[in-house]
Amino acid sequence: MAQKLDTAQMHKYWTKTSRLMWTIFALWIFFSFVAPLFAVQLNTIKFLGFPLGFYMAAQGSLLAFVVLCVWNAISQNKIDEEFGVQED
Amino acid sequence: MADSKTAGGGGFYGNLGKIYGGYAGGFIVFTLILAVLEQMGVPNKIIGYCFVILTIGVYAYIGILSRTMDLSEYYVAGRKVPALYNGMATGADWMSAASFISMAGGIYLGGFNALGYVLGWTGGYVLVGILLAPYLRKFGQFTVPDFLGTRYEGNGARLCGVVVLFCASFTYIVAQCFGIGIITSRFLGIPFEVAIFVGLLGILVCSMLGGMRAVTWTQVAQYIILIISYLVPVVWLSTKLYGVPIPELTYGQALDQIAQLETKLGVVKHYVDAFTDAKGQFSWVEFNNFWALVLCLMIGTASLPHILMRYFTTPSVREARTSVAWSIFFIFLLYFTAPAYASFAKLEVYQNVIGQPIANLPAWVQNWSQVGGLLTIKDGNSDGILQLSEFIINQDIIVLSMPEIAGLPYVVSGLVAAGGLAAALSTADGLLLAIANALSHDVYYKMIDPKASTARRLIVARGLLVGVALIAAAVAGTRPSGIIQMVAWAFSLAAAGLFAPLVLGIWWKRTTKIGAISGMVSGFGICLFYLVMTRYWPAEFKAMFGTDLWWGIRNISSAVFGLPAAFAVTYVVSLMTPEPSKEMQAFVDSIRTPGGAVVPHAA
């Protein structure tokens, strides 16, 4: 049974949740904006038969997004259980 | 329960795997039968008819089976949709005519620069998952404006939300009607303007009787068809060209071959080169537009109400999160295949179409030329040979015509048409429902007649659904713009108007009612101003600012200007107005934790 958290616990819970959010947010920025920033340079490298810059924008970053979403679901569920605020 | 779907509620929800597995198998068998019929000499026209009419028939059947008179079923599918199926439904809701029909075409024409669409239309789910979906699910009402109306206490914010939702979703839905028109016109052989309305019937039968419940279960069915039909031609070509049925691995070789042919044909703008202009030179304008587009599409993803409201339908907050992960996985399957689709199409055109005698071109050229000027072949130098510059193909027909260009059996073309139709119909349904729900629930019920009975509310919702659909189809008949451009506008409008109040409402307790409303008005206002002025009054815009476009940013990325304004204004005005009440802060705390009740807060 999930109970209501007191202010201190709520604060702790939200700090942990926010930290996870910001970590994933930073990685999201990296794969969305920073990695493709160097597409011209990366394109000179071959990866699996693809120019790497093209590969990242067409496949690499996309894979990273899927992993980030799965990671978020798993880690946040763990945080919820740690604080006992998961649903019944 | 009287409203259970087929053989009792538990029966349906317990057997989802079997039902949809059987359905997918049935669809494959149906396709194989048509393939055999084609070999036996059944004309192409009949094959096209079978695909279009039979798939719409199946959706209509599901729509009618799922009819309901229960409010929670109508608005949020009874909150019983498991994460996996909600993921598929979101995939279909998400992938529209723009993704299915136009995106690979955009890559075909634009090369690397168009990969901004691929990135932009996937990465946004990370934001949906970490910033919004679980919290909106916990809030647990019917619509996105519901959240704004509660968090920002009153009808002001609710109405702003409805206006943004309407503008964004309506623009989006016009694009879908356009796509539906192209497909039905080509495969049923009827005029474009009529075809739009025929397709419209397909949308209405799915959503009108059963609302969200019907849309959910048809969207799952539509996802299955659209993903099969997108993958088949690409896998086929990959096997044909390189002997390996995994296109995502093999099209690197196609890129090499394209590069060689580009040299031979004298193409200066190379397919894989990043941020190049028409002359093949690196261009800062292209570079800036790439970022602007990626940003607008991602933020737009996390702001579009028809997507966010899908996460209102899961049984729990936990399932909402898991469902985001499933959604992006199902979407990823199509998106990481799209560049392969584009590359194979490019290779086929360069190898087998360019340089052929025009008189010998196969029938598909003739057939597509008849659909509203989307393909033109003009023998500029009158030598009877097709040059690259004489072959002008619209990006909206590349995916649909590729199986024919590559010489695959016509049954594959029919399959792709069915997939494109599924993509356009499923998104149109979701959008239509988002608009009609906002008008019937937020405007009619919450603002005009709070005493309306359930039956009356459902009748109003259905009436509005039909009305909006008819208007959208009529607007699409005027061919306002290309599909992908209209869709990108919708993303910008939603991003500029809704992202800041939604995210700050959950993540920053200090956000006040006045702050949020001013932020929405200014963000959306600037975005709309830039879009409308640069699109319809470019001369006046230039007279005002002395430039065609601010920093060369195209109006598909208008939200780049609206977003910072929305955040800045919300922030400053919130700090200038009194802190939200203790009860409101408790409300925010209660939606931040999955367990426990939402602290009721009278609006």
Provide the domain count of chain A: 1
The gap between the terminal CA atoms of chain A, to the nearest Å, is 6
Residues B137 and B139: their CA atoms lie apart, in Å, by 5
Look at residue B343 and tell me if it is in a domain: yes
Least Cα separation, residue A37 to chain B (angstroms): 9
Q: Under 8 Å CB-to-CB from B100, ≥6 apart: which residues?
A: B226, B230, B334, B399, B419, B420, B423, B424
Specify burial of residue B229 (Cβ count, 10 A radius: 0-12, 13-18, 19+): buried
Q: Band of the pLDDT at B140, cuts 50, 70, 90?
A: confident
Nearest CA in chain B to A60: B336
Look at residue B600 and tell me if it is in a domain: no
Look at residue A22 and tell me if it is in a domain: no
Q: Give pLDDT tens digits for B56-103.
A: 889 988 988 888 888 888 889 989 999 999 999 999 999 988 889 889
The two three-digit tokens of residue B224, written as one number: 């299955």
Q: Give pLDDT tens digits for B291-323.
A: 999 999 999 999 999 999 999 999 999 999 999
Look at residue B260 and tell me if it is in a domain: yes
Residues B399 and B233: their CA atoms lie apart, in Å, by 10
User: How high is the pLDDT of residue B303?
Assistant: 94
Look at residue A26 and tell me if it is in a domain: no
pLDDT at B510 over 60: yes
Q: Is the complex ipTM more than 0.85?
A: yes
The dihedrals phi and psi of B325, each to the nearest 5 degrees, come to -65, -45
Q: Give pLDDT tens digits for B188-233.
A: 888 888 888 888 887 887 778 888 999 999 999 999 999 999 999 9
Among the listed residues B419, B375, B429, the one whose alpha carbon sits nearest the alpha carbon of residue B397? B375
Distances from the Cα of B178 to the Cα of A59, B55, B208, B376, angstroms: 29, 19, 20, 19
DSSP B452: -
Look at residue B601 and tell me if it is in a domain: no
- Find out whether B490 and B175 touch, Cβ atoms under 8 Å: yes
Look at residue B149 and tell me if it is in a domain: yes
CB pairs under 8 A between A and B: 152
Look at residue A36 and tell me if it is in a domain: yes
Asked if A24 lies within 8 A of B126 by C-beta distance, the reply is yes
Q: Give pLDDT tens digits for B380-396.
A: 788 888 888 888 888 88
Q: Give pLDDT tens digits for B436-460.
A: 889 888 888 888 888 988 888 888 8
Phi-psi region of B274 (alpha: psi -120 to 50; beta: other; left: phi over 0): beta
Which of B282, B593, B598, B599 to mutate to probe the A interface, most A CBs <10 Å?
A: B593
Distances from the Cα of B457 to the Cα of B96, B142, B443, B447, angstroms: 29, 13, 11, 13
Residues B201 and B470: their CA atoms lie apart, in Å, by 10
Look at residue B550 and tell me if it is in a domain: yes
Asked if A28 lies within 8 A of B275 by C-beta distance, the reply is no
User: How high is the pLDDT of residue B542?
Assistant: 87
Look at residue B598 and tell me if it is in a domain: no
- Find out whether B565 and B571 touch, Cβ atoms under 8 Å: no
Residues B303 and B491: their CA atoms lie apart, in Å, by 8
Residues B206 and B224: their CA atoms lie apart, in Å, by 16
Least Cα separation, residue B111 to chain A (angstroms): 9
Residues B455 and B76: their CA atoms lie apart, in Å, by 17
Least Cα separation, residue A2 to chain B (angstroms): 5
pLDDT at B6 over 70: no
Residues B323 and B315: their CA atoms lie apart, in Å, by 11
Q: Band of the pLDDT at B372, cuts 50, 70, 90?
A: low
- Find out whether B173 and B432 touch, Cβ atoms under 8 Å: yes
Asked if B274 lies within 8 A of A43 by C-beta distance, the reply is yes
Residue B256 sits in which domain range?
9-592
Asked if B595 lies within 8 A of A13 by C-beta distance, the reply is no
State what percent of residues in chain B have pLDDT above 70.
97
- Find out whether B237 and B247 touch, Cβ atoms under 8 Å: yes
Q: Under 8 Å CB-to-CB from B245, ≥6 apart: which residues?
A: B235, B238, B239
Specify the CATH number for the domain of residue B160. 1.20.1730.10
Residue A87 sits in which domain range?
31-88
Provide the domain count of chain B: 1
pTM of the model: 0.91
User: How high is the pLDDT of residue A3?
Assistant: 55
Look at residue B3 and tell me if it is in a domain: no
